[in-house]
Amino acid sequence: RGPPEHIQVIRELAGCRSDIREERVVSTSKKLNEAISLIIEMKNISELIVGLAYSAVLFYNQMLASEVEILEEEMDEMLTDLEFTVLEAAREVENLSELRGLLSIGMSTEIISDAAYEIADVVLRDIELHPVFMLAIRESDEVVSRVNLRKELSADLDIARIEDETGMYVMAVRRPNGRWIYDPEPEIRLKGGETLIVRGTRSGEERLLRLWGEL
């Protein structure tokens, strides 16, 4: 798992043929392709919403919790759109089992978003958290962390560089004016004093702090 541009490097290290390339399968059905695009977007949002929910609880942040609520409502609408799109695609494809799989995945991502909302709802309802719950989050294999970039940061830094060099996924950026950018694009430039919500390994978190964060 990681940046697509590193796939070839891994293949070479593993001794695979260097001329192998990923090929995206495109269906002749326009509606089926629309459904596949919806599934990809829902999958990406489901990953983001879980990370934001954990962040909202870990830092007891009402703004992050509210964003989880908004995304969960969007996921409900996307599932409805997916169901209609799949039904329309049924007229254009012969193998209906393909469509059944898409619906199963779509329902699963929506269930994940519902679970994330239930986590964030603890913050939205201002319920006091048990210390054991907070400890469990920090002791999991994958950590969610808030990192403040050093104010004296002068390097030309963007999201892609952070993810490439640390393996940490940047879920959100808080600008100095207080505005949050969720699921930021890789090319977004960063400045000193900004805050990142990141997800990844503990070693990646340590590297990020060492390179650019306030210790």
134 or 159: which carries more pLDDT confidence?
159
| pLDDT for the residue 26 | 52
pLDDT band at 152 (very low <50, low <70, confident <90, very high): confident
Q: Is the pLDDT of residue 155 over 90?
A: no
Is the Cβ–Cβ distance between 194 and 149 less than 8 Å?
A: yes
* Per-residue pLDDT at 76 exceeds 70: yes
pLDDT value, residue 10: 85
CA distances from 62 to 33, 55, 86, 120 (A): 37, 10, 36, 9
Cβ contact 45:75 at 8 Å: yes
Q: 162 pLDDT exceeds 70?
A: yes
**What is the band of 110 on the pLDDT scale with cuts at 50, 70, 90?**
very high
39 C-beta neighbours (distance < 10 Å), count: 20
Q: Which two tokens stand for residue 197?
A: 């919500």
CB of 137 within 8 A of CB of 58? yes
**pLDDT tens track for 198-210:** 988 889 999 999 9
pLDDT at position 82: 95
How confident is the model over 12-16, as a mean pLDDT? 87
Could you give the CA distance from residue 19 to residue 153 in angstroms, rounded to a whole number? 40
The yes-or-no verdict on residue 20 having pLDDT over 60 is no
Answer yes or no: is pLDDT of 104 > 80. Answer: yes
Tens of pLDDT, residues 80-102: 999 999 999 888 887 787 788 89
C-alpha 167/C-alpha 2 separation (Å) is 7
Q: Is it the case that residue 35 has pLDDT exceeding 70? A: yes
pLDDT band at 129 (very low <50, low <70, confident <90, very high): confident
- Tell me the average pLDDT across 102-109: 93
More confident residue, 73 or 22: 73
Asked whether residue 142 carries a pLDDT value surpassing 70, the answer given is yes
SS (H, E, C) the chain: CCCHHHHHHHHHHCCCCCCCCCCCCCCCCHHHHHHHHHHHHHHHHHHHHHHHHHHHHHCCCHHHHHHHHHHHHHHHHHHHHHHHHHHHHCCCCCCCHHHHHHHHHHHHHHHHHHHHHHHHHHHHCCCCCCHHHHHHHHCCCCEEEEEEECCCCCCCEEHHHHHHHHCCEEEEEECCCCCEEECCCCCCEECCCCEEEEEECHHHHHHHHHHCECC
User: Poorest-confidence range of 85-89, 115-119, 129-133, 136-140?
Assistant: 136-140
